[in-house]
Structure 1
């Protein structure tokens, strides 16, 4: 393939609609901005650009710069044509701490990018270099948001997408279990998806997730909560006592119970499709389905009792009581016996 045909500047000129591009599918352009503090998403976006450019020309020349330790003229020097005119990818990290020399050189460069050069600018967030950010926006350069996935529905969508890309299936309870087990860190969540894809066959189930990640604090907490809300006191208490005996702190146990009860309360007595309620209540459809299933074990007075005992337990495990273990055991017992089996 002719190199100039593959990566000509005209073919890579960003459309203004590319400003909100997807980090899983970064458009090739003379300049791309990755903005936000989530390093994992930024690294995935960079990998996507590298892969696409190397598919066009395996002789891609890669250069890395640090905007916080930048010397005047560096950008122009590395962007200049090489002896054999290979296409270039320049990755500049640390824009959140960019020095004035980089700011001035970048402002000049983006007005007239070098041919056959792709420039990725990685900004961890904040207002440093606002003049450059505004200039990139005015030029219509693709901007990839690299923001943390804080909500469980976002993490669930991430897991589903990882399996979809791997051409594998995972059922809804398994998605939920995986998010509960390793969802605090996005890179760990991605690694868990990769491990399950590599080490299992067929549809990935909650049992598969439990086999690999069942020992995690979050997963244990949600197993306790599931059993309690289903009115299965023996399982809830035995799981709880095992968790406490192996060093699990009472705080995440109460937090898991509280989250489950809040979701149950949201759907209690509410009609509508799972998709509609998910949009209205800020939940994933599978969370609505699970909460509705749990709601079948509850009536109004019992739910009020659960909410009150959880409020007390939350205060007690955070310092209001001398025995937080007793507090969480009492909460689990009250909730599990209040629910109808």
Structure 2
């Protein structure tokens, strides 16, 4: 019997300041935690830029905690002859060697003046938990920058909106939704797309701009398939589905996207609360409630129930219960678009 998988480290109660990855700042110890690499990379680069703006002579060094040579940490953080500030970036803390852990714990007791040490821990393993607990307890005078996973559609929407806000640029809500749906499976690509639009396009960014840049990507997204099927546009939905599959789309996330939209519709159906109040109660965004209400046009309790059951069946089939996942998705799209049981 295979051993049980090791769980990620339980998070100790933190007594140190929690800092946003969008507004990073230096400290003797900076713990950059969590699995979202694009946010972690931004935070680490932001600290480097902050320190370099203060002193252009900043010395930057990199250490691998899993391939660590004894004495590296103290060597890189010790003052040089001219006393330049030092930044030491430590990657792979979730795979730390015993030697690194011992030296890092010792370093926390007496951090070097003028040195900033960044510890990057993805949370992928329990390795390094003692070190993280010590940092979070305040040993070493550190801060934490948490980079939580961006998985939900609402999280991706907030991320992209934050990109344009940080760049002091305006983007139309419909354009932002199209952009997020086009890059629903890759936050790194979504971030790059946001930066490209801000770099290439002058003025406000509308939906026509997103379509011009990423129209092909938008047309093959799972959310486009879901939207056309939910709207009852059967032919368009099948064309979009075949285009998506021909472009290499995976049936598993496609079914997940469709099921997610159906669940949102079910949560909103029959509720007459104002969008803002309902969104707050359900943990959603105002625009998600408004979109779900528009999607519900032409649906009733029976047809929505049939669609949700079909999505549950398709989810099982694309994950191994069927030998033909493509057929499973096509059948699901047919049920949704026709709003009737398959073959009825």
TM normalised by structure 1 equals: 0.84
Question: Which structure has greater helix proportion?
Answer: 1
- 1:12 is matched with none
- 2:271 is matched with 270
Is the partner of 2:304 in helix, strand or coil?
helix
Q: Which stretch shifts more, 200-209 or 220-229?
A: 200-209
5+ residue gaps, structure 2, are 1-13
Q: Which stretch shifts more, 100-109 or 321-330?
A: 321-330
List per-residue Cα deviations over 1:260-300 (Å, max 9, x = no partner). Answer: 22111110011223233223323332221110111132222
**Aligned in 2, Cα 1:37/1:331: closer, same or farther, shift over 3 Å?**
closer
- 1:6 is matched with none
- 1:129 is matched with 128
**Aligned in 2, Cα 1:31/1:244: closer, same or farther, shift over 3 Å?**
closer
| TM-superposed deviation, 1:43 | 1.4
Is the partner of 1:19 in helix, strand or coil?
coil
Return the alpha-carbon distance in structure 2 between the equivalents of residues 143 and 290 of structure 1.
Answer: 36
- 2:70 is matched with 72
- 2:109 is matched with 111
Q: CA RMSD in A?
A: 2.7
| TM-superposed deviation, 1:54 | 0.9
Return the alpha-carbon distance in structure 1 between the equivalents of residues 261 and 315 of structure 2.
Answer: 14
- 1:44 is matched with 42
Aligned length in residues: 324
Return the alpha-carbon distance in structure 2 between the equivalents of residues 71 and 245 of structure 1.
Answer: 49
List per-residue Cα deviations over 1:4-54 (Å, max 9, x = no partner). Answer: xxxxxxxxxxxx865321111123211111122332222111111111111
| TM-superposed deviation, 1:313 | 4.2
Is the Cα contact below 8 Å between 1:278 and 1:288 reproduced in 2?
yes
- 2:297 is matched with 296
1:174 aligns with 2:175: yes
Return the alpha-carbon distance in structure 2 between the equivalents of residues 173 and 230 of structure 1.
Answer: 17
- 1:31 is matched with 29
| TM-superposed deviation, 1:154 | 1.1
Return the alpha-carbon distance in structure 2 between the equivalents of residues 321 and 131 of structure 1.
Answer: 45
| TM-superposed deviation, 1:312 | 4.2
Is the partner of 1:142 in helix, strand or coil?
strand
5+ residue gaps, structure 1, are 1-15
Is the partner of 2:189 in helix, strand or coil?
helix
| TM-superposed deviation, 1:162 | 0.4
Is the Cα contact below 8 Å between 2:220 and 2:247 reproduced in 1?
no
Return the alpha-carbon distance in structure 2 between the equivalents of residues 256 and 243 of structure 1.
Answer: 13
Is the partner of 2:119 in helix, strand or coil?
strand
